[in-house]
Amino acid sequence: MTLRKGLTLADVLITVVVALVFAVVYSIWGGVYTALQPLGLHLNELVYGVWFIAAVVAYLIIRKPGVALIAEFAAASGETIVMLQFDVMLMLYGVIQGLACEIVFALIRYKSVSLMAAVSAGVAAALSTLPLDWFYGYLGQLETWNLVLMIGFRVLSGALIAGWLAHVLYRALKETGVLKLVGSRRAGHDEGL
Amino acid sequence: MIEIKNLRLRFPDAEEKRFTGLDITIKEKEKVLILGPSGSGKSTLLNVMGSLIPHAMEVPLKASVLNVPKNGAYVFQEPDSQFTMPSVAEELAFVLENKSAPVNGMEERIKTVLDTVGLDVDIRTTIDTLSGGMKQKLAVASALLQNAETFFLDEPTSMLDESAARNLWETVGSIWDDKTVVIVEHRVDHIWDMVDRVILMDDSGGITADGAPGQILEEQRALLDAFGVWHPYSWHRAPAPVSYDPGETLIRLEGLKITRGKRQILHADGININKGEWVTVEGGNGSGKTSFLLAIMKLIKSDGRIHYRDRNITKTSEIAGDVYPVFQNPELQFITHKVFDEVYINLELHFDKTEAMRQTGLILERMGLAPLSHLHPLEISTGQKRRLSVATAAGGVPEVIMLDEPTFGLDQNHAFRLLELFDEMVRQGTTVVMITHDEEIKKRYPSKRLMIEDGMLREKTGVENA
Amino acid sequence: MLDMIKNYTTFIDRTNPVTKLSLGVMIFITVVLMHNPNQLFYLALMLMLTLLLFSGVRIRYLVLLIGVMLAFGLFSSAYMIFYGEGRTTLFSFGIIHVTEESLMRGIHIMMRGLALSFFGALIIFTTRITDVFYSLMQQLRIKPKYAYSFMAAIRMVPIIAREYISLRQARKVRKPLIHKKYVSGITGFKTTIVTLLSQSIRRAWRLSVAMESKGFDDGPRTYYHQTSFSISDFWLVIFTVLLFIFSMIFGTIIEPFATTDAR
């Protein structure tokens, strides 16, 4: 028996659905992000990590190249699908954040499912969109303390939510036995038949 | 023709092999029913015969002969996980697109096949709005469009009520003459006389009996019972009906009105539910039975009054400890990550630790869940989940337990064991309220039958049992 | 659902989704590169008018939506208005320091967001979501595996939402009987998400098997919904380019703001 290479239909479908679950949950809790904005103190950045938690969770359960990117794209388009809001910027950000995660996972060759891997990806994704924000939001013309606060919160959120929380969810999900169905398989498991 | 010899198969990560040298041959145009206890590998075998294993599911297998059809068509159990597209037309077109069928004439073929299966809906209808029975007919239509010679039906009626199930089998019977059909089912009353051959599997993945339906029923009834397979004589072994001793009124409904949008869906006035009663709630699909249950728990909005022991109930927390509902999707009711804890957490506030653990053990034992204590509640089979959700109620010591189709999809033994448990609860003074479609249950057990007809909830008079 | 709030259709409804998506990206780039608030003002204004006139959606829904967008736009630029650098102080209170420059920059950022939101809403109101994926496959040659995964997953969104509601209801009735540590805080959140994920993964896996059993593979196929480019695409591109040009011109003739560079 030959194992199918690359992403199977099941891999892609599960990835997209995982992202959409987060999109649904997010749309229910979504008011939080907006409610934290008016002070301008970047408290909303503390929950920034929820934007790319899907990429990390999807990678942890499937562990194949491309999954993080698809998950992130799906999570971004999830807002379009769930809340009927189309946001070009969000899609673009999703792709960049997905790519950032993908690079981290490629560096560890899609092998590790450790907490460190998850946290690194979370932080990478958090930092990845700063250059764009710099141009879009004129961050260079912000008072320094405020800028530091924003970047600090964002990195913290990437590490905590997209990294640590994603890993907690992954471990809990593993206990439910559902992950036996999915992901990359070892070759040679038909021995002894 | 299907021919499999010396099939060996093991699931990844599993200790033991699922099949260790199974042989099976199915002739051209034969209609075969495969029966067996849950976990006997019936569905797995079906997936091998239609070559879903190892192509769509990566399960390693070996066989000395594996002669299976390339283009088998499947109808699965769950409507929610077998459709890809939002609308009826798009879903059926999906099958045609897969075969690279010409776009011209697609719509014609879609309309024809809907006609064939007797599904009279506009082709732009959203699948989500169809009833369970209609969804399964759509699945049959989709299988027909595949032009397959072999049909594999994997418990297609287990989510359907009695009349929808009968209707579906009539439809299947009307289209299957020139097909080979392999069916896995545990509700067999409608098809027993339709099939040519019945194959009985045991719980270690072997075939124990194989013959004409009449012959199997004659010779293997003890085995069918032991495996929990529903058969035409199953109810002869059902627990005996109970005698009741109703006490004071617990729930009283006055002018209860449930509306959805602007439409009133249910009206119930002057309905009493008493201590120690066994009440059934009956009504067709979508008649508002589940809404009724949710309304009593104040989980959805309703007008009118709900009294519990003369308290007027205005919010969920005022009634939740005394009345305990068991919903249809058991998995959504689970909170912990162990089967044991799921029951234990209901008891720990009532008893000291040792006693709570002892009682948890007893309840799990009765429900046949003791060997699964250490597993995750989401990991066990659907039937086991359903039993576990009832077990959480048994542990909570509520005065009234309300169940939404508790025996749905269970095998015979587990269904009977539940009925025994309800019987015992009623005798100890607990009130059991259950939504059910099962004619036999309605006939045998309730002390009071509530019927929903034309949006009115009424008490059915002339119940002999009481 | 869209049908219920739509009054009429326009050439934008008949435009290929790929064209609309590409124009969306183009508007994003333009908006990021535009530093003159006067020009951005006209661009945002004209995109709002386009939404009002060409989406075909009933006016009272649109007015409500635009109101919400304005509020959200203001929130998301608050950080710049309150804490941006600048010399001419307008208002100062504690750590808040509003200057003429930071206010202008804040308004500029808000108008960027609004321009994008207006165009985004226009796309949403004029596009059937399945058509997006059909045209991505037919015009951009995206592999069916990806497109159909998205379409199948979209079908599951209402199921996921329903499950979430049932899950909340089930917890509400169990809560009085058990210790609250099991359902509150991070534990409660974790078990909620894990249950939803586990259910959805199982369902997605089964669906992928069902799809393959119906003969789905990544190979060549025909398409029930044919999508192609038409004259409408041409008009929409011309229309958008004209919007750009007009906003450039108006922005230098009638200047609503005192400055020509928000930076």
Q: What is the band of C236 on the pLDDT scale with cuts at 50, 70, 90?
A: very high
Segment A31-38 shows an average pLDDT of 66
* Tokens of residue B6, six digits: 């010396």
Domain positions in chain A: 9-175
Question: What is the maximum span of chain B, computed from C-alpha positions, in angstroms?
Answer: 72
Other Cβ atoms closer than 10 A to A54: 33
B300 vs B293: CA distance, rounded Å: 9
Segment B308-335 shows an average pLDDT of 88
pLDDT value, residue A184: 62
A94 vs A80: CA distance, rounded Å: 13
B109 vs A5: CA distance, rounded Å: 36
- How is domain A9-175 classified at the architecture level of CATH? Orthogonal Bundle (1.10)
Contacts of B331 in chain C (CB under 8 A): 195, 198-199
Report which of B95, B69, B73 is spatially closest to residue B84, judged by C-alpha positions: B95
Asked if C149's CB is within 8 angstroms of A16's CB, the reply is: yes
Contacts of B321 in chain C (CB under 8 A): 176-177
Report which of C220, C227, C212, C221 is spatially closest to residue C136, judged by C-alpha positions: C227
pLDDT value, residue A4: 53
Segment B349-360 shows an average pLDDT of 91
**How much is the mean pLDDT over chain C?**
89
Segment B384-388 shows an average pLDDT of 88
B15/A contact by beta carbon, under 8 A: no
Contacts of A34 in chain C (CB under 8 A): 72, 75
**Helical H segments across A137-181, by residue range:** 144-157, 166-175
Share of chain B above pLDDT 70, in %: 98
B20/A contact by beta carbon, under 8 A: no
Segment B164-190 shows an average pLDDT of 91
Q: What is the band of C118 on the pLDDT scale with cuts at 50, 70, 90?
A: very high
Segment B60-76 shows an average pLDDT of 90
Query: E strands within C162-248?
Result: none
pLDDT of residue B242 exceeding 80: no
Asked if A193's CB is within 8 angstroms of B10's CB, the reply is: yes
Segment B175-196 shows an average pLDDT of 90
* Beta bridge partners of residue B152, listed in sequence order: B74, B182
* Beta bridge partners of residue B34, listed in sequence order: B184, B199
pLDDT value, residue A143: 79
Most confident of A62-66, B235-239, C69-73, C79-83: A62-66
Q: Smallest CA–CA separation between A70 and chain C, in Å? A: 9
pLDDT value, residue A1: 36
pLDDT, tens only, B14-57: 778 889 889 999 999 999 999 988 778 888 999 999 989 888 88
Domain positions in chain B: 2-237, 249-460
Please check whether residue B327 is in contact with residue B334, taking contact to mean a CB–CB distance below 8 angstroms: no
* Closest residue in chain B to residue A175, using alpha carbons only: B376
CATH 3.40.50.300 fits B2-237, yes or no: yes
Q: Smallest CA–CA separation between C72 and chain B, in Å? A: 30
Domain positions in chain C: 2-132+228-253, 144-213
Under DSSP, the state recorded for B81 is: G
Q: What is the band of A30 on the pLDDT scale with cuts at 50, 70, 90?
A: low
pLDDT of residue C162 exceeding 70: yes
pLDDT value, residue C122: 93
pLDDT value, residue A34: 66
pLDDT of residue C2 exceeding 60: yes
pLDDT, tens only, B71-122: 889 999 888 889 999 999 999 999 999 999 999 999 999 999 999 999 999 9
Share of chain A above pLDDT 70, in %: 85
- How is domain B249-460 classified at the architecture level of CATH? 3-Layer(aba) Sandwich (3.40)
CA distances to A13, B83, B384, B409 from C203, rounded to whole Å, are 10, 11, 18, 18
pLDDT of residue B179 exceeding 70: yes
Contacts of C37 in chain A (CB under 8 A): none
**How much is the mean pLDDT over chain B?**
89
pLDDT of residue B379 exceeding 80: yes
Contacts of B94 in chain C (CB under 8 A): 148, 214, 216, 224
pLDDT value, residue A39: 67
pLDDT value, residue B264: 85
Helix, strand, coil share (%) of chain A residues, nearest 5:
75, 0, 25
Report the range of poorest mean pLDDT among A95-99, B307-311, C40-44. Answer: B307-311
C37 vs C193: CA distance, rounded Å: 44
**Active-site pick, B3, B16, B155, B254:** B155
Q: What is the band of C101 on the pLDDT scale with cuts at 50, 70, 90?
A: confident
Window A:77-136, CB contacts with C under 8 Å: 77, 80-82, 84-89, 92, 135-136
B61/A contact by beta carbon, under 8 A: yes
Q: What is the band of A31 on the pLDDT scale with cuts at 50, 70, 90?
A: low
Contacts of C206 in chain B (CB under 8 A): 76, 78, 81-82
Residue in B58, B95, B98, B336 to test binding to C, most C beta-carbons within 10 Å: B98
CA distances to A64, A108, B13, B94, C199 from A113, rounded to whole Å, are 11, 10, 18, 37, 22
Query: A67-83 and A53-62 are packed helices; what angle lies between their axes, rounded to 10 degrees?
Result: 130
pLDDT value, residue C140: 92
Q: What is the band of C92 on the pLDDT scale with cuts at 50, 70, 90?
A: confident
Please check whether residue C41 is in contact with residue C251, taking contact to mean a CB–CB distance below 8 angstroms: yes
pLDDT value, residue A37: 66
**Annotated catalytic, B155?**
yes
Segment A55-74 shows an average pLDDT of 94
Chains with 3 or more CB pairs closer than 8 angstroms to B? Answer: A, C
pLDDT, tens only, C189-206: 899 999 999 999 999 999
pLDDT of residue A3 exceeding 60: no
pLDDT value, residue A188: 47
Segment A174-180 shows an average pLDDT of 88
pLDDT value, residue A187: 46
Question: Which of B102, B142, B327 lies at the smallest CB-CB distance from C170?
Answer: B327
CA distances to A128, B39, B107, C75, C237 from A88, rounded to whole Å, are 17, 49, 35, 19, 17
Query: E strands within chain C?
Result: 89-93, 96-99
pLDDT value, residue B116: 94
pLDDT value, residue B237: 86
Report the range of poorest mean pLDDT among A135-139, B198-202, B393-397, C31-35. Answer: B393-397
Asked if C190's CB is within 8 angstroms of A172's CB, the reply is: yes
Segment C85-99 shows an average pLDDT of 79
Q: How many CB pairs under 8 A join A and C?
A: 178
Segment A5-33 shows an average pLDDT of 85
* Closest residue in chain A to residue B17, using alpha carbons only: A193
Q: How many CB pairs under 8 A join A and B?
A: 39
pLDDT value, residue A183: 67
Under DSSP, the state recorded for A51 is: G
- Whole-complex ipTM: 0.90
Q: What is the band of A45 on the pLDDT scale with cuts at 50, 70, 90?
A: confident
